[in-house]
Structure 1
Amino acid sequence: MSLISEQVAGTAREPEDELSAPGGTPATEVALPWIEDTDKVAPKDARALSKMFFDRLQTLEEGTHEYQYARNTLIEMNLTLVQFVARRFRNRGSGDMEEIIQVGTIGLIKAIDRFDLTREVEFATFAVPYILGEIKRFFRDTTWAVHVPRRLQELRVELAKAKEELSTRLDHDPTVKELADHLSITEEEVIDGIVAANGYTAGSLEAPSDGGDSAATPTRTLADVMGESDPAMEAVENMHTLAPLLDDLDDRERRILELRFGQEMTQSQIGAELGVSQMHISRLLTGTLNKLRTGMLA
């Protein structure tokens, strides 16, 4: 499954007859125009239509046919933003343009899900940093030979700069303590960063793993003895990071998260449970998720 389909799984556009009343008029209180081919929508018209669709999207319940139609149409109408940003990376030499556009589209989807018309900012201005961030993260992560936590990837860069600066100043290779003092971090963190740097390059899987050199004792390669990666490791890592952040939330924020992701209730159902509107739940949920996201990235 492509990166894009992973992000929008379950939100494919429904058939037109499920969104429209007889005669082609959308069967909703506030009608949304049916856009058959978003490629034919002029940029100026796309901006005006996007505002209309965003305004309507805020009043729709997740999971409904019209919600899916409005969200997917916004994605399709604004794909030119992804193509515009992706062109800046066409000569980077890692990943083909189609893959870069897929990654950038993930950023576009995140921007659509988080955009609020009350911000009084153009959607393009809001969306480009999301698109750019996803593409940059893609290039940063795919240059590593093995998975390394992002904080250690960034520490490796800081250590490299510090080593170069201190080597010139001290006229010798800096010690772990000198690096730690220079960066105002612990010696253990410096060691973690140095170990993580080993993940930036990889040896050949065909390299010998033992000293066997005869027909009777054939040489085993690294591929012969290498274990498989555990896909659950990243989930464990994320859970350890998330746990203390959840403890910092207030009771209402934790309750809303439990109802939304634990009991898989819709925003409308949560609103009815707590005695508030679906729009209010949407704002509270967005704020809570942004708070957790900021904490995890930090």
Structure 2
Amino acid sequence: MQNSGSLFHAFLTEHHCLPQVMAYYFKQWQGFNMPFHRHDAVEIMYTIQGYCDIEIQTLPTQTESVSLKKGEFIIMDANVSHRLIVDEAAPCRMLNVEFRFTQQKGVFPSIHQLAAEDKLLATLLEVKSPYLVLRDPDEVYHIMKSLVLELDKAAAKSETMVQLLIAQLLIRIARLRQEAASSGMAQSEWYVKQSMDYLHQNYDRDIQVKDIAGVVNLHPGYLQRIFKSLTGQTLMAYLTVIRMEKAKMLLLETDVPISEICDYIGVGSRQYFHMLFKDYTDLTPTEYRKSMDTSKWEYPEKSWDF
């Protein structure tokens, strides 16, 4: 059976194949104009910092240009002619991974078998475009980084872990594609959603508005305005809700001492935590733990229905 470099090809749904990483690297580019080239492998080019342009030759006489900024990536099918362009004044740091598909060996599910169980992955494999450009809320980058670190272990690497990570990577990309196609989300709504996601993942840390704004690459004042406009809350008020709901869960479902809960939820002092909790519930933490033994806690929604 022949091997295939293509992701968007019926070959993968007709044969049992596993992905095999051919190349992977971090690279900082500056003032670079790459000549057009192609390779028999799927390539994911992820922009970690800065921005770049990629020109894709879709037809012999037709070229399309794509701009990638921080947190965006392109997945390019095999044998698609393309080149990278990076401005001299603005360096761009990227993470690239290239992989092909080989005949299945061992017991790990093939791409065909995974697609049979995951409809979005099956839909991704049916894409007719030579490339896809997607915005990443950090999941894809962390999977790619974990994959690279595992591959770097050389003889000590686990092939099972490599296959698990590539499967996770492809399924995550398939979900991002579906979300991008179905949401029609406005740019400001995307910034708000990313801010919410960041707060849900980092509520236990000391967070300021400037930290959130830095994550989504916006001016703090502008982010505050669009967040309040779309949610009716300030960023810090939303963070307080997350922290207080987490505190309620810890009081009800765990034996964590009340004196330590402020450390679990990122509130600087016990006294300040008690003040916030009393304002939020009309009870002190001690009163809440004693009186709410059988109560259910409700966690705030992670994102809004835009």
The structure with the greater share of residues assigned to helix is 1
Tell me if TM exceeds 0.5: no
The structure with the greater share of residues assigned to strand is 2
State the TM-score, normalized to the length of structure 1: 0.25
- Greater relative contact order: 1 or 2 (C-alpha under 8 angstroms, separation 6 or more)? 2
State the TM-score, normalized to the length of structure 2: 0.24
